[in-house]
Every structure is written in C-alpha cells, then in structure tokens.
Amino acid sequence: MKVRVVVLSIALAAQLCASDAGNEGKGNPSPSQSPTVANVGTPMVDWSPANLLPSWLTLGGQIRGRFEIPSGTSIINNAMDGYYASRLRVTLGIQPTSWLRFYAEAQDARTAGYNSPVAPTTLYNPIDVRQLYFSVSHKEEGYVPLSLRAGRQELSFGGERLIGPADWGMSRTFDAVDLTMGDGNHKVDLFAGSAVLIDDTRLDRHKPGEHFYGAYGSWKNPLPHLNLEPYVLFKTNKLVKSETSKIGDGLVMSPGIRAFGALPLRFDYVGEGIVQRGSYSSDKVVAHAYSGVLGWTVLNTSVKPRLSVEYSYASGDAGNKDGLRNTFDQFYPSNHGYYGMIDQFGWKNLKNFRTGFDLQPLRKFKLRTDYNTFNLANVKDSLYGSSGTSVVLNRAATSSRIGEEINTVGLYQWSKMWKFGAGFGHLFEGAYLKQSKADFGYSYPYVMFVGSF
C-alpha cells in the first residue's frame, strides 16, 4: 500500500511540476497561453495544460468509464450484474536529446457497484506502474535506422492476434526489450520478454517461469496489392505437466506469416497462418492456426458501407494421452476485435465464421454489426476463454456447436479528445453448451466514454 501511495504521489507531483515548467520563462502569458483559456481555435473540451509544456517534456493520460450489465460473469455463470468500470492513466515523457527518451505511465482501475466484494483483476487494479521504459534511436543517412526500447512496455505486432495490449480490458504490458531495424518499406523487430501479471495486492510483476522471444518482419508492397509480415515466435515455460502428468519444461516455436492488401473494385483482404512445433514436458507439440478476412466497400461514398466475411481456425487436442499436444497456443493476443464482442472465446480449439457490416452514417459516427458462429475444432478438448484458459471441458459431448453470436457497436468521436460508444452482444447457446449444462446464453450491453489528452 505504501508503495502505491508513493507511485501516485510521484505521478501527481510530475503533473504539477510539468504545469510549472510550462509557464517557466514565459513572463506574463498572453490570453491564448493562459492555463485557463484554450488556444485560439481549440475547443475547451480539447484543451489541456500539457499543451504549454516545452517540446522535450510531454504529459498525457486517458480516462475511460464503462457501464456494463452482463447477464453473468461468463458463459457458465448466469449471475447477472451491473457495474461501472473506471480506468485512469497518467503518462510522463522526457526526451533530453533527439536520440534518447524516457517514458512512464501509471494506471488506476476500479469498479463501483460490482456484486462481489472484490472485482476480478480484469476490472480492478489500484494505482500501479503500467509502463516504464527508455528508448534510444539512431538515424543517419547511409545506415539502417535502429531503435531500442527496454523496460515495461506495450508490444503490438500485425493484427495483434498473437501479441497485443488487449486494451479493451485492463490491458497487457510486457517486461521486454525490443530492437527495431529499418523503417518504411522494410523493417524487422527482434524482441524478448515476459508478460506482466495483474496483481491487485501489490505492484504488478512479470509471470515467473514464462518467457517469449521473437522476430517480426514487415515488407510493404513486394508485389502490387500485397504486404507481407513473416515472423517466428518462441515461448518457454518451466515446470509444466504433460498429458500423463509428467513434470518438465516447455518450448514452443511458432513460425507464421501475415499477408494483407487492397484489391481492385474496393476489395481488401487479410490472411494469416501459423504452425507450432516443440515440446511440452514429455509431449510433442504439433498445432496450427489460420484466419482469413475478405472485405468489400460497397460504395465509394462518405458513408463507407463495407461487407466482410471471416473464418478463423485453431487446432485442438483429442485428449487421448498419445504424447501429442495439438492445442494451439494463442500467446498474448488482443481478442476483442475477433471471435465476438462479448469476449468469451480465445483462438484455441476453435472454428469461427463471421460476417459483418460496417458503415459511417455521420462524419464522426461509426456503426458495426456482426454475426458469428462458433464450433470446437475437437470436441474432446476444452472450450477456451479469451485469456486462453479452459472454461468448459465435456468429453462426453456429442456436438461441437458452441453457439451463435450477434453484436452491434456504435462509436461517436465527439471531439479530438473525447469519444463515446455503446454496444450489445448476445450468444445463443448451441448443443455443446446445452450438453455441458451451460444453456442460458450470454448477453453483454455497455455504454462507455473515453477521454485522451
């Protein structure tokens, strides 16, 4: 508790000092520079005292509030609840030279009205250090641009199906080192680290015994209408258990490739495929996953009506203790934009078909609606949640049909800093959930606001 108080005091002191620094050396500011008056042409709702800071010092943050009324804590628990989830971030950046930068971010997440005495760590984590890193860069004509970032940080690659911040919830960061070589049309990232575990009783720390390494490349336009992102990821685990309960270490190698681009006649596409090989204690890892999206912007107008279809597959395991581990490892994904808005499924042992429609009826208002079907890839394996943990295991089930989901989301960008959104999603239970005694469906309505400064 004392450590959290110290962290909060530092964040508040930094904000006060930053405001003083913004006025230092300016003499009597003109009305447009006054901390109580926005700059000319800037709406008051989009103005911040941080605008007055010198270029080498940045102060920012975000406040997010979301009212949620889910029909249960998950698809297997129908205890309805309604609550308010808040998330506050304060950031401080210092760049003393063109090649060196320091960055810190504190985060405070709490709930109001939650039924249980203690909310889960997906919603509740009092003041903590979310990011704290330094970065150095080198750019000189005739040399490959280089940048290095080390410390607690966000990592995001490709479509974030394997590595991303998962920012819809508490969000994810990593204690990691990331070396970027190149920019523009050719780039590669070499990185190593460990995911940070949320702990509401103390400062967050990375997950012990689990580390990942990787190389992620980007090649823009090797051919017309084509962008390529080849990569290879590794994950190591200590003291894991095989199918026969033997304790040992795990090593999974995941080479993959992502391709995307725009096609003639307003079509667009994204495709990704991964294979996994390695060992999990005494078991041999043999798994794979792939996904594909095809979109079509119907009319080239300001409304931007777009139809899309998508199919995603991730292998599962037969559970027959054959020494093979066939369940795909989804690593550390941002799943909210995939597999349904209600965030109940992960990219493991899953078949997901989606069709969707997007449009922008107003300049600042976007609308999206989707229809999803979900099936298990192997009925003998678990149904896995968004975090990758087992939610339902029913090897006696005869059907792989999890169910169907409909969802609609609206987002209004009220101003440069402020946006508002609302959505509703519902899962219609399928035969697998009914056979597993989880046959009440699941609904997830929400209303939210986000302010970024």
pLDDT tens for 212-255 read 999 999 999 999 999 999 999 999 999 999 999 999 999 999 99
Strand partners for 8: none
3-state secondary structure of 411: strand
| For residues 393-419, average pLDDT | 96
Q: Domains of the chain by range and CATH?
A: 1-54 (no CATH), 55-452 (2.40.160.100)
118-149 pLDDT, tens digit per residue, is 788 889 999 999 999 999 999 988 899 999 99
Scan for tokens 């000319």, then name that residue: 40
Q: d(Cα 367, Cα 412) in Å, to the nearest integer?
A: 9
Residue 10: CB atoms within 10 A of its CB come to 15
312-351 pLDDT, tens digit per residue, is 999 999 988 899 999 999 999 999 989 988 999 999 999 9
Whether the predicted model's global pTM rises above the 0.85 cut? yes
The predicted structure's pLDDT at residue 119: 85
3-state secondary structure of 7: helix
Do the Cβ atoms of 327 and 383 come closer than 8 Å? Answer: no
| For residues 196-224, average pLDDT | 94
Residue 452: CB atoms within 10 A of its CB come to 14
Do the Cβ atoms of 42 and 414 come closer than 8 Å? Answer: no
Element containing residue 244 per DSSP (H, E): none
Scan for tokens 């009925």, then name that residue: 379
Element containing residue 393 per DSSP (H, E): none
Name every residue whose Cβ is closer than 8 Å to that of residue 301 and which is 6 or more positions away in sequence: none
| For residues 172-190, average pLDDT | 95
Q: Mean pLDDT score of the chain, rounded to an integer?
A: 89
**Residue 366 in this model has a pLDDT that exceeds 80:** yes
Q: d(Cα 385, Cα 402) in Å, to the nearest integer?
A: 12
265-274 pLDDT, tens digit per residue, is 999 999 999 9
Which is more confident, 40 or 96?
Answer: 96
The predicted structure's pLDDT at residue 216: 98
What's the token pair of residue 120?
Answer: 């889960």
- 316-331 in b/e burial notation, b at 16+ Cβ within 10 A? bbebeeeeebbbbbbb
Nearest to 235 by CA among 278, 275, 268, 201: 278
The predicted structure's pLDDT at residue 14: 39
**Residue 444 in this model has a pLDDT that exceeds 60:** yes
- Weakest mean pLDDT among 8-12, 372-376, 429-433, 438-442: 8-12
3-state secondary structure of 286: strand
Share of the chain above pLDDT 70, in %: 90
The predicted structure's pLDDT at residue 19: 38
- The overall longest dimension of the chain from CA atoms, in Å, is 78
Q: d(Cα 407, Cα 426) in Å, to the nearest integer?
A: 6
Angle at 176 between CA 107 and CA 66, to 5 degrees: 25
Strand-pair category, 324-325 with 365-376? unpaired
Helix, strand, coil abundance in the chain, percent, nearest 5:
10, 55, 40
| For residues 67-84, average pLDDT | 84
**DSSP-assigned letters across all residues of 141-208:** TTS--EEEEEEEE----TTSSSB---TTTT---EEEEEEEEEETTEEEEEEEEEEEEP-TTS--EEPT
- Cα 350 to chain centroid, rounded: 19
Strand partners for 349: none
